[in-house]
Amino acid sequence: MQYNPEPAQYDAIIQSITDYVFDYEVTTPKAWKRARIALLDSLGCAIESVPACASFIGPVTRGASAPSGFPLPGTPYVLDLLKACFDFGSLIRYLDHSDAFPGAEWGHPSDNIGAILPVADWLSREGSDVTMRDVLEAIIKTYEVQGCFQLKNAFNKVGIDHVILVKVASAAVTSKLMGLSRAETNAAISQAFADGQPLRIYRQSPNTSPRKGWAAGDACMRAVHLVLMTRSGQPGFPTVLTDPKWGFYHSSFGGNPFVLPVPFGTMVVENFFTKLVAAEGHGISGIEAALTLSKQLYGRLDTVRSIRIRTTEAAMTIIDKTGTLHNAADRDHCMRYMVAVALLKGDWPCAEDYADDSPWVRDPRVDALRGKMTMEEDGQMTRDYHDPKMGKGAAALLVTMVDGTVLDEVLVERPVGHPWREDTAARTKDKFVELTNWVFHDPSGFWEECMREEMANMKVKDWMESVVGQQKAKVQSEMELESEMVNSRVMYRL
């Protein structure tokens, strides 16, 4: 059944998202370059996560393959659109190695790529002339929509998870990709706001669970399904935000309207934080400080009396944990665990270090060090964290020895992966090569090819075929894939 367009005018913020998606012209070379990096980094994170997600990726009906389906990277699976969005979005995010952007709400703009790439590939295989330039533009715009909302709107304060913004941003750009009108795009965005939003409970102790890894995939799938429903003729809700009784502001946001402090542009894609470490982002400064201290403390960690960690309010909210850590999802969201492992290991934590069978989980020295740590918010660090002009995500470690000696405090303000650090781009390529080397024939060459401007002119299906063509023969067999999943070095037993 078809419905006529709604006569009422949509809420202003919904219209501003639609206007940005349809009208804004991306002109800065930096934005296009960073979008390429975002795409490749997300692809690397997805391939890294394949073994960890073995139990739920792939077709619902075993052995099924979808016509015009999406070839899920790092696997032999060819999936229908909605399962592809769920699986690819989950793979990008699952091991907490994908990019991030700060604000009143911390989030991960690359989550949206889990919707963008499968939709664009599906359209391309169905005969559309969609190109990788369209994909890159969609990436830039989802990053901007999500990130600008994150700056001043704390969904965590009302218990809602930040993947609501993935749903909203992905609905907006995939509406345009699918050829929906402005009115239909407004309707699709309103559907995303009207959808039941996930609680943040799966990110917070004592309920931290693996769902934090697949929540983004779920949001990608929901966004695309809602766009498909809108395309079929389903109407939207013009006052979904502002209705005085039933709207989102009143029912779900404490009666407060959204605040967008800057106009939509390309700020977010140009300034997102690259996760070069498999760790919750607010802990990376603390880990880097711990690595500096590990050199001074080598061979005498047992003589440490206390470790004080100064950090931001966001870190206190998300990764300030004591007591028993129940699973890998708990450990990679615990500042004390990450710092303890870094001190003992003298190196960056990796995905295996959080797994239930990791030797660090059974090492009594980890809990002994955790017990000596205290965490406290530093108000200036919090203010600088929320100030885009400062661009800081600081943490500082102060160690006191049993003899009363106090070591110099180690402060890290812009940790490894920060967009302002000169080594970030090169190290992101190194990360990509490391994460995909077990699957790709020539990951370094593939990276270089994709960083060339000509890549933007490729049809999406051709680019996806180049991804498949990079894959070693062992991932083309489902049975061999399952064997790889069992034996992989990145297995999470959650």
Would you say 188 and 172 are in contact if contact means Cβ atoms under 8 Å apart?
yes
Would you say 302 and 469 are in contact if contact means Cβ atoms under 8 Å apart?
no
CA pseudo-torsion sign 101, 169, 317, 335 = negative
Would you say 331 and 210 are in contact if contact means Cβ atoms under 8 Å apart?
no
Report the alpha-carbon distance of residue 470 to residue 482 in Å, rounded.
19
Q: Is residue 417 part of a domain?
A: no
Task: Identify the CA nearest to 485 among candidates 56, 82, 44, 71.
Answer: 56
Task: Identify the CA nearest to 331 among candidates 290, 393, 280.
Answer: 280
Same domain, 261 and 396: no
pLDDT for the residue 2: 52
Mean pLDDT by 10 residues, the chain (494 residues): 62 98 98 98 97 95 87 96 98 95 94 98 97 98 98 96 98 98 98 96 92 97 98 98 97 97 97 92 95 94 97 94 92 96 95 94 96 97 92 96 97 94 94 96 98 97 97 65 44 30
Would you say 339 and 286 are in contact if contact means Cβ atoms under 8 Å apart?
yes
Phi, psi dihedrals of residue 133, rounded to the nearest 5°:
-65, -40
Strands 373-377 vs 304-311: parallel, antiparallel or unpaired: parallel
Query: What H or E segment, with its residue span, contains residue 401?
Result: strand 395-401
Which residue range forms the structural domain that includes residue 132? 12-274
What's the DSSP call for residue 162? T
Compute the C-alpha angle 11/15/19, nearest 5°: 170
Last residue of a domain, one of 361, 387, 412: 412
Report the alpha-carbon distance of residue 425 to residue 105 in Å, rounded.
25
Same domain, 343 and 263: no
Angle, nearest 10°, between helix axes 443-451 and 460-470? Answer: 160
CA pseudo-torsion sign 226, 231, 233, 237 = positive
Same domain, 255 and 391: no
Q: Is residue 469 part of a domain?
A: no
Phi, psi dihedrals of residue 206, rounded to the nearest 5°:
-95, 20
Bond into 71 cis (ω within 30) = no
Same domain, 79 and 213: yes
pLDDT for the residue 475: 66
Task: Identify the CA nearest to 213 among candidates 295, 288, 114, 299.
Answer: 114
**Gyration radius of the chain's alpha carbons:** 22
Same domain, 218 and 315: no
Burial of 128 (0-12, 13-18, 19+ CB in 10 A): middle
What's the DSSP call for residue 305? E
Beta bridge partners of 309: 375, 397
Same domain, 47 and 165: yes
Tokens in use for 406? 């106090």
Q: Is residue 470 part of a domain?
A: no
Q: Is residue 4 part of a domain?
A: no
Last residue of a domain, one of 206, 240, 274: 274
Look up the CATH number of the domain holding residue 302: 3.30.1330.120
Chain centroid to CA 471: 24
Q: Is residue 211 part of a domain?
A: yes
pLDDT for the residue 7: 53
Report the alpha-carbon distance of residue 396 to residue 443 in Å, rounded.
36
Same domain, 263 and 247: yes
In this structure, how many other beta carbons lie within 10 angstroms of the beta carbon of residue 42? 30
Answering whether pTM is above 0.85, one says: yes
| 3-class secondary structure, 169 | helix
Same domain, 181 and 314: no
Q: Is residue 459 part of a domain?
A: no
Q: Is residue 105 part of a domain?
A: yes
Which amino acid appears at position 463 of this protein?
W
Same domain, 115 and 167: yes
Same domain, 253 and 397: no
Last residue of a domain, one of 243, 274, 305: 274
Look up the CATH number of the domain holding residue 47: 1.10.4100.10
Q: Is residue 486 part of a domain?
A: no
Task: Identify the CA nearest to 410 among candidates 274, 306, 318, 287.
Answer: 287
Would you say 404 and 416 are in contact if contact means Cβ atoms under 8 Å apart?
no
Query: What H or E segment, with its residue span, contains residue 121?
Result: helix 113-125
- E strands, 89-182, are none
How many domains does the chain contain in total?
2
Same domain, 231 and 317: no
Same domain, 318 and 196: no
Tokens in use for 180? 């929906």
Report the alpha-carbon distance of residue 56 to residue 75 in Å, rounded.
13
